Amino acid sequence: MWKKEIKPLLEENCWKCHGADKVRAELVLTTREGVLAGGEVGPAVDMENPAASLMLEMVSYKDEDHQMPPIGKLPQNKIDALGKWIEMGLPFPKEDEIVPKNAHSHASTTEVNETTKSHWAYKKPTHPIIPDLPDHANPIDRFIQAKLAQQNLPANPQAEDHTLIRRMYYDLIGLPPTPKEVDAYVSNQEPTKFNQLVDQLLSSPHYGEKWGRHWLDLVRYAETNGYERDGNKPQAWRYRDYVINAFNQNKPYDQFILEQLAGDELPEANAEAITATGFHRLGIWDDEPADRVLARYDYLDDIVRTTTEVFLGMTVGCARCHDHKIDPIPTKDYYSMLSFFANITPHGRGDSNLVEVKDQVGNKTYESDIQKWELRRQTLRSLMTGFEEKFLVAFHKDASIPKSNKVRAKPVLLLEDARGKGSQWNYLERKPRQEWIEVGFDARDWKSGIGGFGTKGTPKANVRTIWKSKDIWMRTSFRLAAIPKTLRLNLHHDEDVEVYLNGKLVFQKPGHISKYQTHDITDISADVLQTGKNVVAVHCRQTVGGQYIDLGLECFEEAADLAGLIRKHAKKVMSDGTFGRYQAWKRDLTKHFSQKPKSDHYKVLAVGEHGERVTKILRRGNPALEGEQVFPAFPAVLSPPEPIIQNLPKSSGRRTALAKWIGSKDNPISARVMVNRIWQYHFGRGIVESSSDFGFQGTPPTHLNLLNWLALQFMESGWDIKEMHRLIMSSDVYKRSSMPNDHALAQDPLNQSFWRYDMRRLTSEEVRDSVLNACGTINLEMGGQSVTPPVPEIILAGSSVKGKGWGACTPEQANRRSVYVKVMRSMQMPLLINHDMADTDSTCPVRFNTTVPTQALNMLNGKFMNDSAKSFANRLRTEAGKEPKKQVEHALKLVFSRSPHKDEINAGIEMMKNMKNKFSLSEEEALDRFALLALNLNEFVYLD
Amino acid sequence: MNEKPENTFCNRTHRREFLKDIGGGFASLGLTGMLAQDGFFANKAMAGSTSSYVNPLAPKNSAFPGKAKSVIFLFMYGGPSQVDTFDYKPNLYPLDGKTIQVKTFGRGGKRNESRVVGPKWKFKPYGDCGKYVSDLFPHVGSCVDDIAFLHSMKAESPIHGSAMLMMNAGNLLSGHPSLGSWVNYGLGSVNENLPGYVVMLDKTGGPISGAKNWSSGYMPASYQGTVLRSQGSPILDLENSHGIPRSQQRTMLDHLRTMNEGHLSERYDNTNLAARVASYELAYKMQASAPEAVDVDKEPGHIKDLYGMDGSNTEDFGRKCLLARRLVERGVRFIQIYSGGHHNDNNWDAHGDLVKNHSYHAGNTDKPIAGLLKDLKQRGLLDETLVVWGGEFGRQPTAEYKEGTGRDHNSWGFTMWMAGGGIKGGVSVGETDELGSEAVKDRFHVRRLHATILNQLGLDPNALSYFHGGLDKSLVGVEGADPIHQVIA
């Protein structure tokens, strides 16, 4: 049987992937031992109960997710043969066995044991001995110099002042210094001028914009979800502003971690802390996944990956389907980490990820929010009114409907009081202008609320909106289809009340009552009632004790009841199908009132938790293959403590435990990961080049002792980021010239020893900001909703719905700094993407630096660049006058941040002359061309 | 490096090293490779250049000699119905209107029974191989002896968004490089004057998820697809800005270069700076050669006719197919043409009226596709050009709604085809069940298609990898995938 049936069957269908060529799913079927041991999903055979063997289940194709061989189901006779083979006890001749050549090359690093625990990154840094080099004041230089001396490498001298100031400006605020600032710095003779400038730049609000952007790269910041609809993440920009502010306030890094991971769980969870938890909502999210259960794990996976790579420099995400292939991170650790986040509420569409917060600063966008809200309210109301008017005309014309004079026994509610649903009122607590009672009065800027108004506890009061002040003035309207024969007021007042109808006083009473009373106002109101809109205005005054005011109106004529008539007849009368829309507007309006922006509250993108979920290991990352249950735990290789989790009223407290451990001084890795990032953003490369991977696959540190020392300094300073900037920037190594040195280049071409400062290209944001800055048109307004500067048609047309999500933008807003440009996942501005802006689908620790012809096309021919060149030229004409020499000199001063040399100025003059002579261009045109050229110079986009 | 050693995830290939360097922000992703070729900066002190230097888009040697040099992927966005096009199911016709037990999974979720919609077109045999093709594709029918049909394709998602990403980038999740990016990463581009990866969109707009479908994901942006228009200015910013004629631009560039050279002379070791200077020259050359490349109007009348460029409904797609051939001739590696864009019936997504939808889209594309195959063949280009046809999934044999002929999505079984580039002609592999509902014999996951494409280009799908996020990642995923050997000549 083996020779004739089983071996050919296995050979043909199984062995290729399970032993002979490769070993997939850790399953070896080329040896008997392998079959018995099984793979990731479990033992392949059940010798006790052969029929229940996993192998048979797989080949039976019963389970959608587990079908083998993948290429198609085996014929039944072969399946039967397999069953029989197992029953026979798995006869497997030794000579036919193939031992897989799968010597796991990394077996030595994937186990959690004493050896792997002693990997440099996983054990706590200890105070290194600072090399004894008294010539160097800053310990950083001692560490660096010791290595340079060892390698006999010469260090570059200090860069020139104008180079340094440009370097520092871009480095700390992402903008160049003005010519004035350069001159002042260069001519300053104070020995302390460098450190003073560092301090000055660190206190600039633009510092947060530059360093916040670094952080946004790491946390995959984007304002849309990606995928088919690339739906908006409303209010995501508030997280961006949180980050910018956090850097500007120099928020201690441990606090920064805590707020982002668990701000909602803090005892004093203020608006800021809750905004920070937007961290969990920034990733890609498929609103229509093929497999919803799997999608939930994809969502959590994004959080686990981002958290572990960003804060811990560990690629824990690689252990989702199997133990990490290189690092000592078992799958169990992955799911233990995942369980910290397991209770997070699902990511939803649009507004569903928003949490309302109250902030002392108030709602920054209240003015524009309320305007938008009011506009929408008016639109809805006027749409409804339009319909109602058309309805009335059609209704009266329609002879087939008998016009009833019916007087009902039960009142028709024209305005419902708070014993029912209450009505929507505009109100004010300070005295309005005297026309406030008139129909035409504009009460749009009044507050709005549902009646009744008052304080809780007032007898028989149904308080819907709190009113505590002395006086209240309120207005609302109702609509009449016909003039009713009777009109009654249902009124509860505490205390003095005046009621006006269409400007006329129709009721007045001092003192208070303690229940609703009905007053007939038919006679007094008869001459002011009108069909269509009628306005009721009420003033109530409070002196002592409880307070309350509410009012309703009713009549008995069916004919007056517009709402009732519409309900009854609109379908028939309005044959054009608008009735359905009317009902939708009505529903929208009700919903709209509940969403009125508040001046002190606003909504933020944030996280919440719901319930407590059990987390189980999923074999091969497959939710259908649940394994053992796990509990929140930190990666074992870091020899961590047990997490201390305290349940909180609204959440599990798990994320707090995680954040506190990450930000703890006992954590062996967090501080080093962060100081390495700071170093990387200053020098272009970290001491550990793979700044999000400190594992065995990562690049080893070039200066481990320095890294350890910096990390300890960082923690001792109370995780003070600005202090770290000061420390690093005050070193000689930061101030070095970037010029080549043949001797050093030959020995250390990649500058691993930091013998020089590496040149760098400006980041995509810096390129765009610098162009705007050169033009003098840059708008340095900070914060707020993102802007959408113009984008070429061909880019907009790439979306399935052209330009969807990319709105209009005023020219002033279009000139905002790039950190405020809306970050969409499915579409980017060409200038930014061409210069390697961060990819947002996953965390981006290091940006690329590519040079391709399409950049040049864009920089030369793009509309933005050509428009900018024109305004740059205009600025030159204004500031430098008519003389070409002055114009060129000023232009180069602005783009180089230094005084240009004579030959450079001459080259510019020569160019303009050439353009004029060869192409008979005007002075003005020639300068336009030169301005474009200046913005394309290498020195403009590269830093020394 | 034919075979990657097994179970060594961090098998460090030379390319891997190079990209890690980029990840560190240090590698010189420039174009001095080409500069050296051109002798462009020959007089400059380049000798100091000691850092390892690779241009990502410079031509690279494939792992083994490939049959195909270029790929044209005809993407039928929205998902064409297999049983109405190339997967002949005679037994399905008589079931029309009957409700039967059949497991399906589409936009409307999973179902166990549905009403059959019989195929709406007749099939007849074509060519020497006698392949049955529906009346929707008579012209393609005439090419079947050059085509290998894959009737048992299987994808992981029946939802457009994720299925598009799967077909284009091998993964349901966003963020991965697309097929064209992998090809350019693996092989580079032989024509520096044109982008190596070009995408032509439908006139109704892009597919859903837009640029994500031709994104380079975690690779540098230099590998992303470039949108090319078949009319007007073909590439973004290819045209000079208004009022700046080419001669003026030349003079400007000369001055720009002079000033940049002055800057470079002190920084002679910095290859990025040199690359940037060169990139302006390349851009200038591209401005001259790209419009020439896309000038299909220059083609003789009989060629235009062959592609259906006759002012009728086939004009638009015909123009794009002809343009694709011209790009292939000029060494562009990967060209993707979308049939269908935007939403609903603007693409193959026939949820409502199947006949109307498929008649329209097949009618627009049948003649142009056949024209492309014939033209490539008569020029001897078909041998080295791999043409791929298909959508992100297929459609169900049953109706989606109570009434009408609309079919829901189907990722459990669908048809794609390949031609040229070392693919056997006149063969059909894999089978769906009797209803055409699910692949049952020789099921081919999308990864197998990707593996086949890479293989034909001379790339080992299981060895071509890129280091990202702690892993060597490949287009075919950790699981790996083998080429479909049955269709390889």
List the 800-859 stretch of A: residues with Cβ below 8 A of B: 800-802, 825-828, 830, 833-834, 836, 839, 841-842, 846-858
* pLDDT per residue as tens digits for the range B476-488: 988 789 999 999 9
A contact test, residue of B40, B229, B259, B471 with most A CBs within 10 A: B259
Partner residue opposite A317 with nearest CB, options B57, B163, B469: B469
* pLDDT per residue as tens digits for the range A804-835: 899 899 999 999 999 999 999 989 999 999 89
B238 touches chain A (CB under 8 A): yes
Strand ranges inside B155-298, DSSP E: 197-200, 226-227
In whole angstroms, give the CA distance from residue A563 to residue A568: 9
Other CB atoms within 10 Å distance of the CB of residue A770: 22
A504 touches chain B (CB under 8 A): no
Helix (H, G, I), strand (E, B) or coil at A339: coil
Residue A39 pLDDT class (50, 70, 90 cuts): confident
Residue B209 to residue A836, Cβ atoms within 8 A: no
**Listed residue (B308, B344, B328) closest to B387, CA to CA:** B328
- State residue A635's pLDDT score: 97
* pLDDT per residue as tens digits for the range A113-167: 999 999 999 999 999 999 999 999 999 999 999 999 999 999 999 999 999 999 9
pLDDT above 60 (res B2): no
- State residue A328's pLDDT score: 95
- State residue A479's pLDDT score: 86
* pLDDT per residue as tens digits for the range A500-520: 999 999 999 999 888 999 999
- Taking the CA of residue B431 and the nearest CA in chain A, the distance in Å comes to 10
Phi-psi sector, B123: left (phi>0), alpha (psi -120 to 50), beta = beta
Phi-psi sector, B194: left (phi>0), alpha (psi -120 to 50), beta = beta
A827 neighbors A799 (Cβ within 8 angstroms): yes
- Separation of first and last alpha carbons in chain A: 76
Return all residues near B435 (Cβ < 8 A) that are at least 6 apart. Answer: B83, B89, B91, B92, B95, B100, B102, B116, B397, B398
Give one DSSP letter per residue of A525-564, joined into a string.
Answer: HTTT--SEEEEEEEEEE--SS--EEEEEEEEEEGGGBHHH
- Taking the CA of residue B236 and the nearest CA in chain A, the distance in Å comes to 7
**Listed residue (A163, A283, A212, A365) closest to A817, CA to CA:** A212
A29 neighbors A59 (Cβ within 8 angstroms): no
Fold of B70-234+294-487: Alkaline Phosphatase, subunit A (3.40.720)
- State residue A107's pLDDT score: 57
Which residues in chain A are contacts of B273 at CB distance < 8 A? 759, 938, 942
- State residue B443's pLDDT score: 95
A514 neighbors A460 (Cβ within 8 angstroms): yes
Question: Could you tell me what percent of chain A has a pLDDT over 70?
Answer: 99
Residue B241 to residue A866, Cβ atoms within 8 A: yes
Cα A357–chain centre separation:
17
B232 touches chain A (CB under 8 A): no
User: Looking at per-residue confidence, does A459 or A34 come out higher?
Assistant: A34
Helix axes of A578-594 and A366-397: crossing angle, nearest 10 degrees: 150
Average pLDDT over residues A639-660: 95
In whole angstroms, give the CA distance from residue A361 to residue B187: 56
Going by the DSSP 8-state scheme, the letter that residue A265 receives in this structure is G
A385 touches chain B (CB under 8 A): no
- Taking the CA of residue A100 and the nearest CA in chain B, the distance in Å comes to 10
The ipTM estimated for the assembled molecules is 0.81
B30 neighbors B57 (Cβ within 8 angstroms): no
- Taking the CA of residue B378 and the nearest CA in chain A, the distance in Å comes to 34
Identity of the residue numbered B444? F
**Listed residue (B155, B156, B161) closest to A622, CA to CA:** B156
**Listed residue (A907, A914, A915) closest to A934, CA to CA:** A907
**Domain boundary assignment for chain B:** 70-234+294-487
Return all residues near A878 (Cβ < 8 A) that are at least 6 apart. Answer: none
- State residue A164's pLDDT score: 98
Pairing outcome for strands B147-154 and B444-445: parallel
| The pair of three-digit structure tokens given for residue B37, joined into one six-digit string | 């070729």
User: Looking at per-residue confidence, does B435 or A619 come out higher?
Assistant: B435
Question: Could you tell me what percent of chain B has a pLDDT over 90?
Answer: 71
Which residues in chain A are contacts of B260 at CB distance < 8 A? 937-939
Average pLDDT over residues A520-526: 89
List the 160-199 stretch of B: residues with Cβ below 8 A of A: 160-165, 172-175, 192, 195
B218 touches chain A (CB under 8 A): yes
CA B144 → CA A275, A901, B148, B373, B384, distances in Å? 60, 70, 8, 10, 18
pTM of the model: 0.83
| The pair of three-digit structure tokens given for residue A690, joined into one six-digit string | 């793979």
In whole angstroms, give the CA distance from residue B321 to residue B230: 10
- State residue A817's pLDDT score: 98
* pLDDT per residue as tens digits for the range A226-244: 988 899 999 999 999 999 9
Element at A151 (helix H, strand E): helix A139-151
- Separation of first and last alpha carbons in chain B: 22
